[in-house]
Amino acid sequence: MRVLAEFIMRGRMQAGLVVVGCAALPLLFWLSAAAGSLVLLRRGLGDAFGIVALALLPGAVWWYFGEPRTLLLLLGTLGLAQLLRSSVSWRLVLMSSVLVGLAYALVLEEVFRAPIEAMAGELRQLMPQLLQSATPLSADEQTRLGALLVPVLTGMLAALLQIVSLLALVLGRYWQSLLYNPGGFAREFRALRLPGPWALALLAGMLLAPSMGIRMAMLAPLCSVPLVFAGIALIHGLVAQGRLGRFWLVGLYVTLLLFMQLTYPLLMVLAIVDSLIDFRGRQTPKGGSGAANGEG
């Protein structure tokens, strides 16, 4: 990874080759977003504008052929990268990712309406079997639950793209720290903690959005993403302080991959409790700059 980061930052031609080439290839658009973030974070939008503009061209071509996710991911990730460069605040980035995810959802709702509705139709047919062991629902409740399927599925697809955007930005920030300020990103991420009101607002969005309107239900998955990232940062922070063993990190990512339906909500709960209690305490990291940009 360091070799690739050094190649990207060697010059405009090298950066453009990686950014445009990865955006043009299937399944590598996340790497294009990470490379573009690295250039933007280090050089600023003014110097990186030409490279960023080149990256959008393959995304526009993909959208023309019915695949908008490449362009959406590039725009969303680069927007979050600019916010991170100007604010140096991962908390603002995480909260802003909800708005980015909402933009994703509105676009995906239009472009992928047919396949999403088909998937929702199949789930509606399975609902009687899925609800057999649960408390019986009235006909009105079943109708409302069925109506929520389309926006919830749309929100889940957008949340997945939101997660990829944040991961691409994390990779770009990690590269920047690796090249110009070793250890800076680790300090940033381990210190990440959402304020109590922000975490409670996200929780309210998850629980209350469906009752505010059927289309608003797409907000529920989007509001969960910042909490999960904050929960992961909490585990990393506790391990760095020596309060947890390093095997907890291995267990975290293994269980997140194998048992996501259990680990995902657990991370959200940990993030909410941490926002109110602050498990890591108010300790200031010793030595070095807290920022990963290497610019002081």
Residue-wise pLDDT for 76-110, tens only, equals 999 999 999 999 999 999 999 999 999 999 999 99
Cβ(218)–Cβ(155) under 8 Å? yes
Residue-wise pLDDT for 236-271, tens only, equals 999 998 888 888 999 999 999 999 989 999 999 999
Percent of the chain with pLDDT over 90: 64
* Angle (nearest 5°) at CA 219 between 218 and 223: 140
- Between residues 210 and 283, which one has the greater pLDDT? 210
Read off the pLDDT band of 137 (50, 70, 90).
Answer: low
Read off the pLDDT band of 287 (50, 70, 90).
Answer: very low
Q: What is the pLDDT of residue 131?
A: 60
Q: What is the pLDDT of residue 209?
A: 86
Q: Whose structure tokens read 């990103």?
A: 185
Q: What is the pLDDT of residue 284?
A: 45
Q: What is the DSSP string of 237-294?
A: HHHHTTSS-THHHHHHHHHHHH-HHHHHHHHHHHHHHHHHH-TT-SPPPPSS-S-SSS
Cβ(76)–Cβ(165) under 8 Å? yes
Q: Average pLDDT for residues 141-167, to the nearest whole number?
A: 88
83 token code pair = 């916010």
Q: What is the pLDDT of residue 288?
A: 40
Cβ(291)–Cβ(184) under 8 Å? yes
pTM of the model: 0.90
Classify burial at 255, counting beta carbons within 10 Å of its beta carbon; exposed 0-12, middle 13-18, buried 19 or more: middle
* Angle (nearest 5°) at CA 140 between 134 and 144: 80
What is the average pLDDT score of the chain?
88
Read off the pLDDT band of 215 (50, 70, 90).
Answer: confident
Q: Average pLDDT for residues 109-117, to the nearest whole number?
A: 90
Q: What is the DSSP string of 202-224?
A: HHHHHHHGGGG-TGGGGHHHHHH
Q: What is the DSSP string of 137-187?
A: --HHHHHHHHHHHHHHHHHHHHHHHHHHHHHHHHHHHHHHHHHHSTTHHHH
- Between residues 129 and 165, which one has the greater pLDDT? 165
Q: Average pLDDT for residues 133-143, to the nearest whole number?
A: 63
